[in-house]
Amino acid sequence: SLDPHSNYLEGATLQRLNTMIDGNYTGLGLSVILDDGAVKVIAPMKGSPAEQAGVKAGDYITHLDGKLIYGGELDDAVAQMRGEAGTKIRLTLFRAGREAPFDVTVTRGVINLEPVTSKLTDNVGVISVNEFSRNVGADVAKAIDDLKRQAGGKLAGLVLDLRQNPGGSLDEAVALSDLFLTQ
């Protein structure tokens, strides 16, 4: 452990991260961690089946199809959440601020992650970095060029939105930072 935001990964955990970084798998579209024996949602991927079903960052998943997963292995829970596109799974969620857990049924889908999205509003470019997957630095550089072109060569401002970004490749986070930092 380097800091609260870093982890050493190996085995199945590293494989899971590499799958996310590659950006194409079937499942729910969730980034999760094990937090004191509970599966905690870091973030649903934008546009994913989980996000569309209402799963939110900070939710705790306590049951999968009625089966308690508290105290189990994260890799086992992730394996159960993955599955063939079109199949359904019932998640029991605990959310802070609600008195009781509740169920959400999610239909698994093909997760084609869109790591970088952008839009121009009133000459202000907004670039959302949804995860640090492969080529994010290059994708953001291209998005900046596209936004400048759309704005006629002059942007009034640029917003870099990192909200709900579950993390990913440190090399890509550095490549993104290099676009904005001189040292």
Residue 111: count other Cβ atoms within 10 Å of its Cβ. 22
pLDDT band at 130 (very low <50, low <70, confident <90, very high): confident
pTM: 0.64
In the predicted model, what is the mean pLDDT of residues 40-59? Answer: 91
| CA trace torsion 121, 29, 75, 86 (10° rounding) | -170
Percentage of residues of the chain with pLDDT beyond 70: 90
Which tokens hold the place of 89?
Answer: 């799974």
Residue 136: count other Cβ atoms within 10 Å of its Cβ. 23
How far apart CA 165 and CA 135 sit, in angstroms, is 15
Which tokens hold the place of 101?
Answer: 């857990």
Q: What is the pLDDT of residues 153-167, one digit of tens each?
A: 889 999 999 987 777
Q: What DSSP character marks residue 45?
A: P
What lies within 8 Å, CB to CB, of 112 at 6+ separation is: 23, 24
Q: What is the pLDDT of residues 7-37, one digit of tens each?
A: 777 776 666 666 666 556 788 988 888 998 9
Please, what sign has the CA dihedral across residues 45, 46, 47, 52?
Answer: positive
